Structure 1
Amino acid sequence: MQELTDFWNTVVQVWTQGFLGIDISRILTAVGILTVAILLRGLFTKIVVTRLRALVRRSETSIDDHALDALEGPLRLVPVVIGIFFALESLELDGLALTVGVNFERSLIAFVIFWSLFRLVDPLSFLLHRLDKIVTTIMIEWLVKVIKGLFIFLGAATILEIWGIQVGPILAGLGLFGVAVALGAQDMFKNMISGILIIAEKRFGRNDWIKVDGIVEGTVESIGFRSTRIRRFDKAPVHVPNSFLSDNAVTNFSKMTNRRIYWKIGVEYHTTAEQLRRIVKEIGDYLSDSPEFESNPSRATTLIHVDSFNDSSIDIMLYCFTKTTNWGEWMVIKENLALKVKEIVEGAGTGFAFPTTTIHLEGFPGKDVKAEGLGIEDPQSV
């Protein structure tokens, strides 16, 4: 009988000492509390989110709906944090264990807070879009990224401070390290500053068609901190360092107000002055009557004049602008203009000139001259 008593005392001793001096009953209680909190997480989130959605639906704006969607993840962690709090309370910790438990609980709370702030940046970024008249959309996207990075930094610093780790000395050490890195990463910082200048100067934006002589031509897809991704017309992406786009002349075709058509129309030399006047007038009438061409002189210049006497033609200069800047539409308008010019020239009773050369051969008296290279058998007929 004494043996059974000793065995029971041993069981009770193990039960009361448990793990790290914590009673096993308290450990089981804490585990039970935490398990219930995890199991109720879905139900809690569903109830809270459902009630909040019913409230936000009454508002006329959709911003609160997006904000609620962003907060759904952090809300699912709230029951777990609450369960950890009551589980630690049930353990009745003391000393170092109590300090570790409290710091862990505070770290989770800080994590939930800064995670929520991080998630709220995107739905609330509309406030920054009100500055689109001052800065570009891409600059706003950069600001959003910077704000997100700031919340990540503050969250990490807060958690480190909770655990007694001073952030100041770390920042000082990083500052010295940053100076050493900066010396070896000058190109990276140059490209970053160039990217900021590109956005601030509004040289180009996303989906703009740009050309940098000798470097690239295509459509801008994104402007990053270091490089810009441009999609060439053969659909190949090109990543160009921002410094190349900042230091070189950039032609932004997407900023064109109109597209230009500039032709030299050569007609035959036997065209009379009256025919030339008729051709110039009818082309001018066509341009002024067509709604596809810019007729406002303050926006674009239109010129149709007899320009020069070329080697084989009389040249008429046609200089005009279309209202559209779309390349496909411009090609159709240009084609229609070319067909109309052909009709006008042929209707005037003349034709288009092409390069010709006239050779005059004279025979010597009493001698036969044979132009063998030209295939002429009777030189007297020349």
Structure 2
Amino acid sequence: MRKSIVSIASLAITLMAVGTATTSAKAKSTTKTTTSTSSKKSSTTDKSKAKPEVKPAQIVQTYDIDQPLPYHLKAGYVYTSSTLQKQLGNVKTLGTTTWYVTGAAKIDRSSQGSGYSKFYQVKSGNGSQTGWVWNGNLQPISEGTFNIAMKNSDYFNKQNIITMGDSITRGYDGYETLDGLGYPNWLARYLNTNVTNVGYNGAFLVSTEDNQTTGDLTTTVDSTNFKNYGVATIAYGTNDYGHTDSTLDAIQDTLAQNIQKMQSENKNLIIYGILPLTRYDKYGANSDEVIAQGGYSINQLRDAEAEVYKRYNIPYLDWRSVDPNLITDSNHESRLWDERLHPSAKTYQLMGRDISKFMIDNFPKDRIPKKTTTKKTSSTSKKTTNKKTATKSSATKTANVAKSAKK
């Protein structure tokens, strides 16, 4: 009887001890949770307090800009306004955007802990974004790493391109040559390959005694080793129409002879023809149907060149069908920098985009590089191996069960 009373007393003490320990553990746990929550709140509060207010910068002087020229962001930020208080993005988010400089200013940043800096006002190529960038963070599109390669640009991997033509191929805007900003430079970016531009201001398709330059088609073909190139573009004719009395027969014969020579030098050479742009010669009149001194209109010149390209199975870009809205009666004053014939910097980009797409779409089907399937094969092999392993494992399990049953 006494033993039972002692046992009951011991059990009561043990239960009391367990209860106390549990209560203590719960208290500990509650304290820990409270502390953790409190710490989190404190951290969030500190973070919001840590953001300093950015004081506005001020424009102290503005500069004139001739025509908007294309750049890309090589480092730093684009700000939403000249006060430089809020960022639109940085080189990671805006590194593949083409920016056109539309204004420039000297900005006082002393309120932000800096001195005076020159900033450019910029607009994106598609016109959807505007901002301000420190001039040192912008680079011309012809320089640095600026990857805007189009889909299937890999067709042109290791295919050196030579672009032959007149001032429009050279990159002349009617007043000066825009070095590194003509459509051949955009081809290099969109097709992600090397481009040699041998376009020449004032060059003719047909050289005559009174009208000839060192950049005429025959002279250029004779002085070029086409074994060094995988692709060539030909873009002549507008100067023949505007300044000579060369006939359409002479133009067709000269174009055909030079194509033959190019192909004989390099049987694998891929050639593209580019027909002339619309001109606005007299009092801003469209010359497409106007007969010039050679006895033909721009449209007749285009058709004559197209016949030769068809004869040799060469793809040719006809602006009338590929991009009829590139140069029109309503936009030629802004698209042509001299309002007559020569494109603006922005129009050269549009041309480069159109020509690049045309070249990709008309790349010879039998020359398209085959896509490698090594990775896929490897993956399939891995799956097969796993399947075999699984089968083997299953067979082993069955054998073990059978053995066990025998025992």
TM-score between both structures, scaled by the size of structure 1: 0.26
TM-score normalised according to structure 2 size: 0.25
Which structure has more relative contact order (CA 8 Å, sep 6+)? It is 2
Structure with more helix by fraction: 1
